[in-house]
Copies of this chain bind each other. A is one copy, B any other.
Amino acid sequence: MREVDIIGVGMTPFGKHVNTPFIELGGVPVLEVIKNAGIKPSEIQVAFCSYALAGQLFGVAVAGQSILWQAGINKIPVVNIENACTSGSSAFHLAWSMVAGGVYDTALVVGVEKMVVPNFGLISSGDTELDTLEGLVTPASFAIRASRYMEQHGATPAQLAQVAVKNRYHASLNPYAQFRDAITIDDVLNSPMICDPLTKLSCCPNADGAAAVILCSAEKSARYTSKPVRVAASVLVTGNYENPLELVPWETDFRACRLGYEQAGLGPEDVDVAECHDAFTIAEILHYEAMGFCPVGEGARLLESGETTLGGKIPVNPSGGLLSKGHPVGATAVAQLVEGVWQLRGEAGKRQVENAQVFLAHCMGGDKDGDTRSCTINILKI
């Protein structure tokens, strides 16, 4: 397997792009990433496009080909990917595999979603046949985990709320985030209840958005950039579904992180900055433990210590995370990687983590039998 670099990134601000059609929205970061990487459209050898809801919402299909053609990319293999919240990182994993395996030298990944539509409602938890009908929509499944975690480890609603407060503070420093006004713990606790104990501000909002990256075999990346970012690990796993009654933690989450660290030859202590899938406040706390930033049961206390806030030992979600940026499903996991590249290149502006050299992106999605269907870990370094 060959070493692989990210040589360019691009993204739209996340938020409302109501008047931009889906295909055009996807084209914005493609044009940007080509410029950012200093590559010609004709030099891209394979491309992946991720979106998860556009078929259901707009009847969109085979969109990647149309999105890429706006930037003059044609003829090459293009495949459209759907893998719930990990759609973008699954596309990235395939692109990385192709380049690492020597099938192609360059690969483009673009993730896009439009969700700001009337009467959108709640997204199902994925396994729709029975559990969604019974009420196990996504906020409910995370609320069960939150209640159980609080009972098991003595965490409080105020500690959970602190995740949203921290991430909104980070978002106040990120022009790409949708919601950038500071909030307090009381704001979170007093916002409308969605599913006890998760209030509205404990849940990530909908958003429109798109993001793109270009990968290149390491031996050729110097042709394009003086600041290549190395992919130290790329891991995609599926749930094991073997212990549906164990709601805290996800085995899959721990397994993916362990495989990621093994592949990178690094440990949690080496990570300078991370983005994780904070779809709900409780999720970020659970992911701290899977990522190894603290022992199991200590996530809420790690948060309270300030170590995961900008300026702390291991800032998590410096972008503001899903909780502040919003969660355009197909774009989210690509945007995490864009933030990672900006951090490692020292281009993250007011939210820059000083001397960041190792970045970890965590994403997961698609509930099934008390487990997650898909989980990705991508570790980048400079």
* Cβ B61 vs Cβ A59 within 8 A: no
* Cβ A82 vs Cβ B94 within 8 A: no
A residues 22-81 touching B (CB-CB < 8 Å): 23, 52-53, 55-56, 59-62, 65-66, 68-69, 74-81
Q: How far is the CA of A74 from the CA of B366 in the complex (A)?
A: 14
The number of chain A residues touching the other chain, given as a range, is 35 or more
* Cβ A368 vs Cβ B59 within 8 A: no
Please tell me which one of the listed residues B21, B61, B373 contacts residue A82 in the complex, with CB atoms under 8 A apart: B61
Please tell me which one of the listed residues B21, B101, B374 contacts residue A65 in the complex, with CB atoms under 8 A apart: B374
Please tell me which one of the listed residues B62, B81, B368 contacts residue A373 in the complex, with CB atoms under 8 A apart: B62
Q: How far is the CA of A75 from the CA of B60 in the complex (A)?
A: 30
**CB of A241 closer than 8 Å to a CB of B:** yes
* Cβ A81 vs Cβ B81 within 8 A: yes
Chain B residues positioned under 8 Å from A126 (CB to CB): 61-62
* Cβ B127 vs Cβ A66 within 8 A: yes
Please tell me which one of the listed residues B55, B93, B238 contacts residue A75 in the complex, with CB atoms under 8 A apart: B238
**CB of A240 closer than 8 Å to a CB of B:** yes
How far apart are A296's CB and chain B's nearest CB, in angstroms?
21
Please tell me which one of the listed residues B55, B68, B83, B240 contacts residue A79 in the complex, with CB atoms under 8 A apart: B83
Q: How far is the CA of A239 from the CA of B66 in the complex (A)?
A: 10
Q: How far is the CA of A93 from the CA of B239 in the complex (A)?
A: 24
